[in-house]
């Protein structure tokens, strides 16, 4: 809520009249007039943060010096890393991260009561919206009943979670739940919740206008930056603190300007553009920085395309990818059903407060780079990182090289002999394009006949994820590819699991209005649900015979999805190579079913007359797409589909729960358990202790993602998590996923570092969550950690570059903490995970002086001691003593990545939530 304190910023409070209504606002030009500094050349993204300082300046948490630091930022050429306290207007959650967040809030209510405080002190002070979008799994596909059957299974699996969330909706103020089957949180945010300029009443009853800002418990919260709403992902623990009134401690960021010129050419899509942007910005290095897009080329970038680029900010490593307000912003707000008075306010406010993009807009940036969009070519990215950009015409060759590398590195022998286990003789094997003796082959049989599979068989083709399904241009494009393919008699290959999971019901509305859903259905892209599905790892099981063929023959199966993540082990346990592509290309790859085929030159199949059909024969023109978008994507569709967004269907309305301030934790639940964080918590914090004689739990490589650390997908009966559920009489069919079990710390502890593709360098050639236990023998990471805990032995993790890339997954930090890890030592950290570690009381350290796990020859048999922590300062360099297995020692220097003074307090308290809880208890 806006507050009006502070002698200097009171002068910046002005009045704005729009359509006969008066709003108070905090004026950046007035701040210059008041002598606080020249802010005229700040990027729009940074002006949003500056306005936040003006509105919340109180002489304590936010000072005049903080405000002046923004003028100094411009004077210093875009660099002045001063610590500031930032307060976003609202919080966005999805259910995978939202359930554990609500679990934490419920546990904090128990904790504050135990400390003698008032349970009602634990209540969100800012609006919180939780969208249930991560739970639907693709069990059924390729038929008209798929949607309803998947919804039914979703409720069967997740009823305990939904009862708990409904309790939270009743128990907490300012907390709303968007029910299952509505859409993906980022798309619902973009299309409905976001306002670009927010309004609220202050203590005096005045209506105050200010920029719409938020943090979200999902890294792709950045999608809404396309609509000039400043938002980014944080861990659930940081979001919970923000809900409870704790400001977000951050450094004034560097802002990289990304200049766009020219226009996209025929045959390219927004997906092609964003994949190129991801590649360029990863190469540039923008971790922890804002990226702002500017240049006259923005006149040719519709807001849907901007949202796609903003969505993938985590993939290029930035805190956010921001687009200033301009005419296109207004057009989109109007088209998506926002109130006309709101649209008028956005325009007037942006122009009055210097946040409007005029022609020639070019503020001061820390650094810049430029892209002529006419040079963008059709592309995909993969097979395991979003930044691995591959021009489409090189995709087949690149896949062949990947297979060779896999076979040479893992199995240098000749390909496995083709075996046939069906009745009668085996069909003749066909040649595999690009096969140089490295591809393995196998067969499977169905009632329709026998089919050959091989390295490169595409077994999943999924139009999924808010990244692209929010964009009507690529969705209409996919529908037209399907229509043209259908007219020529083409359909998906029988081994391809196809699915369509839009990010909102509006997508279905315009696909049906255009008559394109029938065409998508005809080639297997039936609606399977409104949610994240394949993109989050909920691709569901493959047909048993296909899964068996892949695993029996050790084949490299492929997925192609229109998502944002393709990390190892994320999409499906049966798929090793995953490629990101535009929705039209997903359809094309489903038709050909083989990554070895160069779809830019080779036929996708044959028409009814036996003629070859090429990609160019079914690819629609930009004009055709634009005309259909103009005709079918209407303001009325958005208003209709979002009219009852919080109401839900009959199933949701039938979910019953109790009314109570504190939660009655069901002891037998395997979904929701009271976590141990606040049990027996003292009223006063402790001190930070040195780490002495710690053992190494894992030595990990570069680009260890939060999916590696805390996977979201399915798991087997033989895993520690599977054994736990089996011991609690849960049948394998009801295991669900790690993501859905995040309300139960017992499951999640066992799932930490349990990704099937993670490789611990303490072991030779072993994939999965394994390490050496105290006895030196191979065991699961969970079992080793518990054995060390019994001995009272602290643990450390070693890692490489970009440790913690990917999702804002707080369980990657929570699980690390609960395993007894006191420190993570890496070459570099991604922003969100570093913050999450601190928020859970785990200290992140970076190597210095060129040291790495490799240069030091670390094997994991070392004993580690870190000194200087009892008097630590932000980003201080401390000594680390390594004792090697032969008894020799070496002292190295580590940079402590406790970045701010408040973070030192978080560590002293044992975590940010402990800090907040103690303070609220004292204030009670």
Q: How far is CA 542 from CA 139, 140, 602, in A?
A: 9, 10, 27
Average pLDDT over residues 524-549: 90
125 compared with 798, residue with greater pLDDT: 798
Q: With the C-alpha atoms ordered 542, 543, 544, 545, is the resulting torsion angle positive or negative?
A: negative
For the chain, helix, strand, coil in percent to 5 are: 40, 20, 45
Eight-class DSSP state of 123: S
φ, ψ (nearest 5 deg) of residue 321: -125, 100
| pLDDT-based confidence at residue 419 (cuts at 50, 70, 90) | very low
DSSP for 607-675, written as a single string: -TTS-EE-HHHHPPPHHHHHHHHHHH--HHHHHHHTTTTTT--HHHHT------SS----TT-SS----
| pLDDT-based confidence at residue 137 (cuts at 50, 70, 90) | confident
- Domain range 691-710+752-923, CATH architecture: Alpha-Beta Barrel (3.20)
Task: Using the predicted structure, report yes or no on whether residue 428 has a pLDDT greater than 70.
Answer: no
What is the average pLDDT value for the chain, to the nearest integer?
92
**pLDDT tens-digit map of 18-35:** 999 999 999 999 999 999
The rounded Cα 523 to chain-centroid distance in angstroms is: 30
Backbone Cα Rg of the chain:
27
In this prediction, residue 292 carries a pLDDT of: 98
CA atoms within 13 A on the CB side of 590: 33
820 compared with 468, residue with greater pLDDT: 820
How far apart are the C-alpha atoms of 343 and 777, rounded to whole Å?
64
In this prediction, residue 8 carries a pLDDT of: 62
How far apart are the C-alpha atoms of 407 and 402, rounded to whole Å?
9
How far apart are the C-alpha atoms of 768 and 787, rounded to whole Å?
19
Length of the chain: 924
Q: Flag the least confident range among 5-19, 616-630, 691-705.
A: 5-19
**pLDDT tens-digit map of 385-401:** 888 999 999 999 999 99
How far apart are the C-alpha atoms of 343 and 197, rounded to whole Å?
9
Q: Which residue carries 């210097």 as its tokens?
A: 354
Q: pTM for the complete prediction?
A: 0.85
| Angle at 391 (CA atoms; ends 389, 395), nearest 5 degrees | 95
**pLDDT tens-digit map of 183-195:** 999 999 999 999 9
Identify the CATH class of 379-408+439-632.
Answer: alpha beta
Task: For residue 814, give the nearest of 246, 76, 236, 90 by alpha carbon.
Answer: 236
The rounded Cα 645 to chain-centroid distance in angstroms is: 23
| pLDDT-based confidence at residue 424 (cuts at 50, 70, 90) | very low
**In 3-state terms, what secondary structure has residue 144?**
coil
| pLDDT-based confidence at residue 409 (cuts at 50, 70, 90) | low
β-pairing verdict for 230-233 and 175-178: unpaired
How far apart are the C-alpha atoms of 741 and 748, rounded to whole Å?
7
Average pLDDT over residues 860-884: 97
How far apart are the C-alpha atoms of 858 and 796, rounded to whole Å?
13
Average pLDDT over residues 435-457: 78
Is residue 803 within 8 A of residue 847, CB to CB? The reply is no
Task: Using the predicted structure, report yes or no on whether residue 417 has a pLDDT greater than 80.
Answer: no
**In 3-state terms, what secondary structure has residue 699?**
strand
Burial bucket for residue 267 (CB in 10 Å: 0-12, 13-18, 19+): middle
Domain with CATH 3.30.499.10 in the chain: 90-375, 379-408+439-632
| pLDDT-based confidence at residue 924 (cuts at 50, 70, 90) | low
Task: Using the predicted structure, report yes or no on whether residue 423 has a pLDDT greater than 50.
Answer: no
Task: Using the predicted structure, report yes or no on whether residue 465 has a pLDDT greater than 90.
Answer: no
Q: How far is CA 499 from CA 154, 155, 467, 718, in A?
A: 16, 20, 16, 29
Average pLDDT over residues 780-808: 95
**pLDDT tens-digit map of 645-654:** 999 889 999 9
How far apart are the C-alpha atoms of 217 and 124, rounded to whole Å?
15
Task: Using the predicted structure, report yes or no on whether residue 416 has a pLDDT greater than 50.
Answer: no
Task: For residue 226, give the nearest of 158, 291, 304, 119 by alpha carbon.
Answer: 304
**pLDDT tens-digit map of 820-834:** 999 999 999 988 899
Identify the CATH class of 90-375.
Answer: alpha beta
Q: Which residue carries 């038929």 as its tokens?
A: 143
Average pLDDT over residues 97-104: 90
Task: Using the predicted structure, report yes or no on whether residue 814 has a pLDDT greater than 90.
Answer: yes
How far apart are the C-alpha atoms of 322 and 857, rounded to whole Å?
42
**In 3-state terms, what secondary structure has residue 472?**
helix
Tokens of 849: 């002086």
Average pLDDT over residues 339-361: 97
Average pLDDT over residues 241-270: 94
Domain with CATH 3.20.19.10 in the chain: 691-710+752-923
């Amino acid at each position: 809520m806006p507050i009006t304190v502070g002698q200097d910023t009171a002068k910046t409070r002005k009045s704005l009249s729009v359509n006969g209504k008066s709003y108070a606002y905090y004026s950046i030009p007035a701040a210059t007039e008041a002598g606080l500094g020249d802010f005229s050349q700040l990027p729009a993204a940074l002006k949003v943060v500056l306005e936040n300082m003006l509105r919340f300046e109180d002489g304590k948490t936010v000072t005049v010096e903080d405000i002046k630091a923004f003028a100094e930022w411009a004077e210093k050429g875009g660099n002045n890393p001063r610590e500031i306290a930032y307060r976003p207007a609202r919080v966005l959650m999805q259910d995978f991260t939202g359930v554990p967040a609500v679990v934490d809030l419920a546990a904090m209510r128990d904790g504050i009561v135990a400390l003698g405080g008032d349970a009602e002190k634990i209540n969100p002070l800012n609006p919180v919206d939780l969208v249930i979008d991560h739970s639907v799994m693709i069990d059924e596909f390729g038929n008209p009943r798929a949607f309803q059957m998947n919804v039914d299974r979703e409720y069967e699996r997740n009823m305990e979670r939904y009862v708990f969330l409904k309790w939270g909706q009743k128990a907490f103020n300012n907390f709303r739940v968007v029910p299952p089957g509505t859409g993906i949180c980022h798309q619902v945010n973009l299309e409905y919740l976001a306002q670009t300029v927010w309004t609220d009443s202050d203590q005096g009853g005045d209506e105050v206008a200010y920029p719409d800002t938020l943090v979200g418990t999902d890294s792709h919260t950045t999608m809404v930056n396309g609509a000039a709403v400043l938002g980014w992902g944080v861990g659930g623990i940081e979001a919970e603190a923000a809900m409870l009134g704790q400001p977000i401690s951050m450094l004034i960021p560097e802002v990289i300007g990304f200049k766009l010129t020219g226009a996209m050419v025929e045959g390219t899509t927004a997906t092609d553009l964003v994949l190129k942007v991801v590649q360029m910005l990863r190469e540039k290095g923008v971790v922890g920085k804002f990226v702002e897009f500017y240049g006259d080329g923005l006149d040719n970038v519709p807001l849907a395309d901007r949202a796609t680029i903003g969505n993938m900010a985590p993939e290029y490593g930035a805190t956010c990818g921001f687009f200033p307000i301009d005419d296109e912003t207004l057009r989109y707000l109007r088209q998506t059903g926002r109130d006309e008075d709101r649209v008028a306010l956005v325009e007037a406010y942006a122009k009055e407060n210097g946040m409007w993009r005029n022609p020639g807009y070019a503020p001061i940036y820390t650094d810049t780079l430029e892209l002529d969009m006419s040079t963008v070519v059709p592309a995909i990215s993969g097979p395991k990182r979003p930044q691995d950009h591959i021009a489409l015409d090189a995709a087949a060759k690149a896949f062949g090289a990947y297979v060779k590398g896999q076979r040479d590195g893992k199995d240098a022998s000749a390909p496995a002999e083709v075996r046939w286990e069906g009745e009668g003789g085996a069909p003749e094997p066909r040649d595999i394009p690009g096969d140089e003796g490295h591809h393995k082959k196998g067969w499977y049989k169905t009632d329709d006949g026998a089919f050959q599979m091989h390295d490169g068989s595409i077994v999943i083709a999924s139009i999924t994820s808010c990244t692209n399904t929010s964009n009507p241009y690529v969705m209409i494009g996919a529908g037209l590819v399907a229509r043209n393919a259908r007219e020529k008699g083409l359909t998906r290959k029988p081994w391809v699991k196809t699915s369509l999971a839009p990010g909102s019901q509006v997508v279905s509305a315009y696909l049906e209005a255009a008559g394109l859903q029938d065409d998508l259905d005809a080639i297997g892209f039936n609606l399977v649900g409104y949610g994240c599905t394949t993109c989050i790892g909920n691709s569901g099981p493959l047909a048993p015979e296909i899964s068996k063929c892949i695993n029996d023959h050790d084949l490299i199966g492929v997925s192609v999805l229109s998502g944002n993540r393709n990390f190892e082990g994320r999409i499906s346990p049966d798929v090793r190579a995953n490629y990101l592509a535009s929705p039209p290309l997903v359809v094309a790859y489903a038709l050909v079913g083989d990554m070895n085929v160069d779809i830019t030159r080779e036929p996708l199949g044959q028409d009814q007359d036996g003629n070859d059909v090429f990609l160019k024969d079914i690819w629609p023109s930009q004009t055709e797409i634009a005309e259909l978008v103009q005709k079918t994507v209407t303001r009325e569709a958005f208003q209709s589909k979002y009219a009852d967004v919080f109401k839900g269907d009959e199933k949701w309305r039938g979910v019953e729960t109790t009314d109570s301030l504190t939660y009655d934790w069901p002891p037998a639940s395997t979904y929701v358990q009271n976590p141990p964080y606040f049990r027996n918590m003292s009223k006063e914090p402790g001190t930070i202790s040195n780490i002495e004689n710690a053992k190494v739990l894992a030595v990990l490589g570069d680009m260890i993602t939060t999916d590696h650390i805390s996977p979201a997908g399915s798991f087997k009966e033989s895993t520690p998590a599977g054994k736990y559920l089996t011991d609690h009489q849960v049948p394998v069919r009801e295991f669900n996923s790690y993501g859905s079990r995040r309300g139960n710390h017992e499951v999640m502890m066992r799932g930490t570092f349990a990704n099937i593709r993670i490789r611990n360098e303490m072991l030779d050639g072993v994939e999965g969550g394994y390490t050496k236990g105290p006895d030196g023998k191979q065991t699961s990471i969970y079992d080793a950690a518990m054995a060390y805990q019994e001995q009272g032995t602290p643990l450390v993790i070693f890692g490489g570059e970009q440790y913690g890339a990917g999702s804002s997954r707080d369980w990657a930090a929570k699980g690390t903490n609960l395993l007894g890890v006191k420190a993570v030592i890496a070459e570099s950290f991604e922003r969100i995970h570093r913050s999450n570690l601190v928020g859970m009381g785990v200290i992140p350290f970076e190597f210095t002086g060129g040291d790495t796990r490799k240069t030091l020859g670390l094997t994991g048999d070392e004993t580690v001691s870190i000194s200087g922590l009892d008097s630590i300062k932000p980003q201080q360099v401390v000594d680390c003593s390594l004792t090697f297995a032969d008894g020799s020692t070496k002292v190295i220097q580590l940079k402590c990545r406790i970045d701010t003074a408040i973070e030192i307090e978080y560590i002293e308290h044992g975590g940010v939530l402990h800090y907040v809880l103690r303070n609220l208890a004292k204030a009670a």
